[in-house]
């Protein structure tokens, strides 16, 4: 099964990596330690996990506009996710992805939360102007 999304920040080739997934909203300012890229938000089911180099799948962003700067900062430190994949895109996450040159897709069907689990290996690619995300078998 593959999930189709809208390209927010494009990339070349196929991205592959380990999945970090949550049905929660994420604040890049308060929920992620900016020095370690670990989730510190106490209400998140992925607390303690690192977003660095992961295919990060989440419902949508939350919080202050400073979150885009926090996401950009993770990128500058080499700690950013490999891919941001969301169901609902909002301006803070979009601008952070663009400024930080972090690949991003949006508009994923929420069925992705039942299909992929944290630790799964997945891939994402662009084909015909659409982005696709699927489990790597």
Catalytic status, residue 64: yes
What is the number of other CB atoms lying within 10 angstroms of the CB of residue 110?
A: 11
In CATH, the number for domain 2-135 is 3.50.30.10
Average pLDDT, the chain: 96
Active-site annotation holder among 27, 52, 64, 75: 64
Over residues 33-72, the pLDDT tens digits come to: 999 999 999 999 999 999 999 999 999 999 888 999 999 9
Q: Where are the domains of the chain?
A: 2-135
Rounded-to-integer distance, Cα 12 and Cα 124, Å = 10
């Amino acid at each position: 099964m593959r999930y189709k999304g809208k390209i927010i920040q494009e990339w070349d080739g196929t991205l592959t990596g380990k999945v970090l997934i949550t049905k929660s909203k994420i604040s890049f300012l308060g929920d992620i330690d900016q020095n370690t890229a670990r989730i510190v938000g106490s209400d998140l089911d992925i607390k303690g996990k690192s977003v660095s180099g992961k295919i990060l799948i989440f419902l949508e962003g939350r919080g202050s506009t400073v979150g885009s700067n926090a996401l950009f900062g993770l990128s500058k430190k080499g700690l950013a996710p490999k891919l941001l994949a969301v169901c609902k895109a909002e301006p803070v996450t979009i601008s952070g992805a663009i400024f930080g040159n972090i690949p991003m897709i949006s508009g994923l069907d929420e069925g992705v939360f039942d299909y992929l689990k944290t630790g799964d290996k997945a891939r994402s690619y662009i084909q015909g102007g659409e982005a696709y995300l699927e489990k790597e078998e």
